[in-house]
Amino acid sequence: MGKRILVTGGAGYIGSHTVLQLLLADFSVAVVDNLDNSSEAALERVAKLAGDAGRNLSFHKIDLRDRDALKKIFDSTKFDAVIHFAGLKAVGESVEKPLLYYNNNIIGTIILLETMANYGCKKLVFSSSATVYGWPKEVPCTEVFPLCATNPYGRTKLMIEEICRDIHCGDSEWDIILLRYFNPVGAHPSGFIGEDPRGIPNNLMPFVQQVAVGRRPALTVYGNDYSTKDGTGVRDYIHVVDLADGHIAAVEKLFQGGSKTGCQVYNLGTGKGTSVLEMVAAFEKASGKKIPLVMAGRRPGDCETVYASTSKAEKELNWKAKYGIEEMCRDQWNWASKNPWGYGKPDESTNPST
Ligand code: NAD
Ligand code: UFG
């Protein structure tokens, strides 16, 4: 039996892909998720995709803020490390409902960290975000850039990073890796798991995907007057399977014998910038679908160009993204065309065992 990992938010988009890679790498995984923004079907599919290793997956439908329920899970299993994905992530909603975000993301994290400390589990990987770089003065963003937050969601990421730095400062037994994700897109190449956001998608690729399957008439492009190659915003899109593999590399670093990890931060991106129009063109090519566009003004809070410096992760995690935007769009379309309604309407053809 491999090491035991608790994965919070493991039914979600990035979590489900990471759980699969963990199982395939021989880890034993317990997922805690309240299913607020996900479906248990994702984990059922993960277990099938993992084959025999699927038996090493357990699921607990609980909210992280339910201290007693969390305690029971730690009572029943001695975890070697925790990967903490659980959180709310919609920027606009966080502006309208800041208390919801502070309550869920901050209180949930504090209860998790307190429980880990009580049970002597002091190895953590946390999902941070490139949002902590704000509108960077230059690119690529390196991990030592100044940090800022422009909305409550981003502030929760920044606050949790600071909490992690503080607890490591107070107790050097903690080993913590903060992963700053750039823009995760795509899906598992099988097409059985992928992103299935509730409501109107906030992010570019889930929206494009819903236009392609006929659920929405057109993509609104937010701003074509930026100082970029074609006037639209530039981002560092990263295939979700590469991102998931970045977590395996991080967990393995936590378990490396000898030196302590301390509290380290790594960017997970590709180091390449792609504009909105380039991404749409790549998706049209992969899917054979035309994506109607409506040009609109800039989205408040958006920045012009963000992409990662990847050298620290390459050097210290021995990890590098393998996939480019062609594969990202191919796999996004494979998932979307097989599951036009996400996990919402189960369909026999999406069952990996058939
Ligand atoms: P997601 O919404 O698909 O997954 C998050 C999961 O956490 C969901 O399954 C949700 O039900 C669960 N959850 C939320 N609050 C919870 C609580 N209190 N208790 C238990 N479960 C709870 O999102 P994702 O895209 O997979 O993102 C995972 C993490 O990565 C989040 O912390 C997010 O902020 C961060 N992140 C995401 C992106 C992105 O673009 N997707 C970028 C940077 C960082
Ligand atoms: N965009 C559109 N139309 C849309 C959606 C997005 O034109 O319907 C544009 C945006 O203006 C931006 C680009 O597509 O130029 C990417 O936008 P996303 O919303 O997909 O991604 P962001 O970079 O704005 O933000 C995302 C997450 C943040 C996270 C950040 C970095 O929403 O929470 O990636 O990881 F912090």
- pLDDT level of residue 30 (50, 70, 90 thresholds): very high
Q: What is the mean pLDDT of residues 209-224?
A: 97
Tell me the mean pLDDT in the region 2-11: 97
If you measure from the C-alpha of residue 26 to the centroid of ligand 1, how many angstroms do you get, rounded to a whole number?
Answer: 24
Closest by CA to 194, choosing from 210, 206, 202, is 206
**Residue 183 alpha carbon, nearest atom of ligand 1:** 40
Residue 351 reports pLDDT greater than 50: no
| Contacts of 324 by beta carbon, 8 Å cutoff, 6+ apart | 270, 272
Query: Would the CB of 233 count as within 6 Å of ligand 2?
Result: yes
Residue whose C-alpha is closest to residue 344's, from 42, 10, 19, 81 = 42
**Across all residues in the chain, what is the average pLDDT?**
95
Tell which one of 17, 33, 60, 241 to mutate to probe ligand 1, the residue whose CB is within 8 A of the most ligand atoms: 33
- Within 6 A (CB) of ligand 1 lie 9, 11-15, 32-38, 63-65, 85-89, 104, 108, 127, 129, 181, 183-184, 203
Ligand 2 centroid to 162 CA: how many Å?
24
pLDDT at 213: 95
Expressed in angstroms and rounded, the spacing between residue 233 Cα and the centre of ligand 1 is 24
Residue 1 is predicted with a pLDDT of 67
- The pLDDT tens digits of the residues spanning 315-346 come to 999 999 999 999 999 999 999 999 999 998 64
CA gap 109, 64 in Å, rounded:
8
Distance of CA 28 to the CA centre of its chain: 20
Nearest ligand (C-alpha, residue 127)? 1
Which of the residues are catalytic? 153
Ligand nearest to the CA of 12: 1
134 near 70, Cβ under 8 Å?
no
pLDDT at res. 322: 98
> Does pTM surpass 0.85?
yes
Predicted pLDDT of residue 197? 86
pLDDT at 258: 64
Over residues 174-197, mean pLDDT: 97
Cα–Cα distance between 11 and 20 in angstroms, integer?
A: 11
Q: Which two three-digit tokens encode residue 177?
A: 């890796």
Position 344 scores a pLDDT of 83
334 CA distance to ligand 2 middle (Å): 22
